[in-house]
Amino acid sequence: MATPTGTRVPCLEVARRLLLCWALVQVPGAAGAEDIAVAYNLTWKSVNFKTILEWEPKPVNHVYTVQISHPLGDWKSKCFSVTETECDLTDEIVQDVHQTYSARVLSLQTGASSSLGEPLFKNAPQFTPYLETMLGQPIIQNFEQVGTKLNVTVEDALTLVRMKNKFLTLRDVFGQDLSYTLYYWKASSTGKKTAKTNTNQFLIDVDEGEDYCFLVQAVIPSRRTNQKSPESAIECTNQGKGVSRGMFFIIGAVVFVVIIFIIVLTVSLYKCRPGKAKRGGKENSPLNVA
């Protein structure tokens, strides 16, 4: 009975060793797969339709490729095998800002063949540019206060949306959906008043002789979120300063002419003085008596 038992032990040992060898061979591949991180915190950053997809983490032993699509299209790859954690997708979304886009970030082993199977990936939230792009800070193009009227013009910012080889402005894209709010107040006061327009032009009544400060904000009232832009820089009229500045230039010009005249007169007098002294010396010297 002992002999059969003794013959079975080596067979079991061989089987165990083969199983252990197989496991050791599989470990490096498993470890390599664990080094590939799946992207997370996928976030759209979009201002005036300039649109970038961001995510984490920084890759260590792998690279990323981004894919984007819309309901009527196939996946299109962008930012191939990059080590960055952002991808500019502006050129895709500006083709139709009313579409809802899907995007995903693929994690790929460095140098790996695309035939190794489905890569790890993470889907980004869907993104509709027309509804979700943030409005950039507006710029006051020019302003003028004449008597009791204050005229303020807001610059229509250019976007990267194109039509017939022309870049469109925010007004071109949003039309009547875009409005501006003007906040204005007397320079000597803190009480603010507001005015609204569906164009880029304000013409409001103000008190004559009073200086005013103001700023503007772009608004899309039809939106549920991202309705308002940041406020513009504050501008102020200064009628008194404008008059003083004109007078300053006039007075400065007069002073300059007077200074030049004094210099020229002084030089002329200095040049004439030696001649007079010489002639005066000759007249006062005694006559030589032969």
Does one domain contain both 109 and 173?
no
Does one domain contain both 77 and 114?
yes
Does one domain contain both 147 and 237?
yes
Stretch 209-232: mean pLDDT: 95
Residue 183 located in a structural domain: yes
Does one domain contain both 197 and 235?
yes
Does one domain contain both 180 and 219?
yes
Stretch 85-90: mean pLDDT: 98
Q: Do you find a cis peptide bond into 71, omega within 30 degrees of 0?
A: no
Does one domain contain both 128 and 147?
no
CA 66/CA 124 separation, integer angstroms: 10
The amino acid present at 255, given as its one-letter code, is: V
Q: What CATH number is associated with residue 67?
A: 2.60.40.10
CA 69/CA 78 separation, integer angstroms: 11
Neighbouring CB atoms inside 10 A of 127's CB total 21
**Sorting pLDDT into bands at 50, 70 and 90, what band is 253?**
confident
Which range of residues forms the domain containing residue 116?
A: 35-132
What is the residue-averaged pLDDT of the chain? 83
CA 205/CA 189 separation, integer angstroms: 17
Percentage of residues of the chain with pLDDT beyond 90: 61
Residue 286 located in a structural domain: no
Decide if pLDDT at 279 tops 90: no
Q: Phi and psi for 24 in degrees, rounded to 5?
A: -65, -35
pLDDT number for residue 26: 45
Does one domain contain both 145 and 122?
no
pTM above 0.75, yes or no: no
Q: What is the pLDDT of residues 36-67, one digit of tens each?
A: 899 999 999 999 999 999 999 999 989 999 99
**Sorting pLDDT into bands at 50, 70 and 90, what band is 274?**
low
Last residue of a domain, one of 103, 132, 161: 132
pLDDT number for residue 195: 97
Residue 95 located in a structural domain: yes
pLDDT number for residue 113: 53
Last residue of a domain, one of 198, 224, 241: 241
How many domains does the chain fold into?
2
The Cα-based distances of 126 to 42, 103, 207 in angstroms read 11, 7, 50
Does one domain contain both 204 and 175?
yes
Residue 222 located in a structural domain: yes
Does one domain contain both 89 and 154?
no
Q: What is the pLDDT of residues 88-130, one digit of tens each?
A: 999 999 999 999 999 999 999 886 555 456 789 999 999 999 9
Residue 12 located in a structural domain: no
Does one domain contain both 126 and 145?
no
Residue 120 located in a structural domain: yes
Residue 24 located in a structural domain: no
Does one domain contain both 149 and 232?
yes
The amino acid present at 124, given as its one-letter code, is: A
Contact 155, 139 (CB under 8 A): yes
Residue 61 located in a structural domain: yes
Last residue of a domain, one of 132, 166, 191: 132
CA dihedral 18, 21, 22, 27 (to 10 degrees): 160
Does one domain contain both 146 and 116?
no
More confident residue, 229 or 5: 229
Decide if pLDDT at 17 tops 70: no
pLDDT number for residue 216: 98
